[in-house]
Amino acid sequence: MPHRTYDSSSRRQAAQRRRGHVIDVAAELFAEHGFEATTLTHIATAAGVSVPYLQKLGSKGDLVEEAIAAATTGPALRTEQDYRAWRAHLVEMPTSAGFIEAVTRWTVDANARSFGLWSAWGESPDPELRASWLAHMQRIRSDWRSLLDELSDHGWWRTDIDRTEQVAAVWLLTMAATYQRMVVVAGLSPDQYADWLRRSLTEVLVGPIDEPTRERLSPSPSR
């Protein structure tokens, strides 16, 4: 009989699909019932796995983070390789306008999918979840600083605003909570929110917008 080599790639892919399915189910349950009311037993039953399997994935707080990450990034950024490719795409943008447009479109899509989960996470009274939310906010600000610093050699960013203030402003503008207040509470359409976000990011990062640029960035009559 010919020797057969063992190929573990299909097994790894199956394990990744199973994990992805569990995380997607957890995200749906968290969004529907809230974090406190959703137990590991609920997730295991709905996903068709055992509680011990879930416990191997991490704590409930870990599942919350993964569920929100999956809902935020969507199917296009499910792996670390996907994220690195997307970040490289941003870094390679030839103009600041292109960079801001890419960030705006991604932010609108991501927040539309995930703002409910982010809100529930940030407002959770559970100490573990609250601590993980605060730590995640710090990581997001660190990522923005790293990205803006990496692009600073292009000479795009205004220099009359401290970088720490710029980072905080970009973080605040792109937060899911900001989307929720602008779209759900204030009643802007996603397109109106995108127009506002694009103008706001431009003013914070590049500088005051002149009239021709303001007209170009303003909503079109068809919206």
Tell if the pTM clears 0.85, that is, is over it: no
| Nearest to 121, CA basis, from 113, 112, 130 | 130
pLDDT tens figures, 107-135: 999 899 888 888 888 888 888 888 888 98
Check residue 208 and give left, alpha or beta (phi > 0: left; psi -120 to 50: alpha): beta
Residues 148-198: tens digit of each pLDDT: 999 999 999 999 999 999 999 999 999 999 999 999 999 999 999 999 999
Number of Cα atoms under 13 Å in the Cβ half of residue 163: 13
- Tens-place pLDDT, residues 17-76: 888 889 889 888 888 888 888 889 999 999 999 999 998 988 888 888 888 888 787 666
Domains and CATH numbers, the chain: 7-76 (1.10.10), 93-223 (1.10.357)
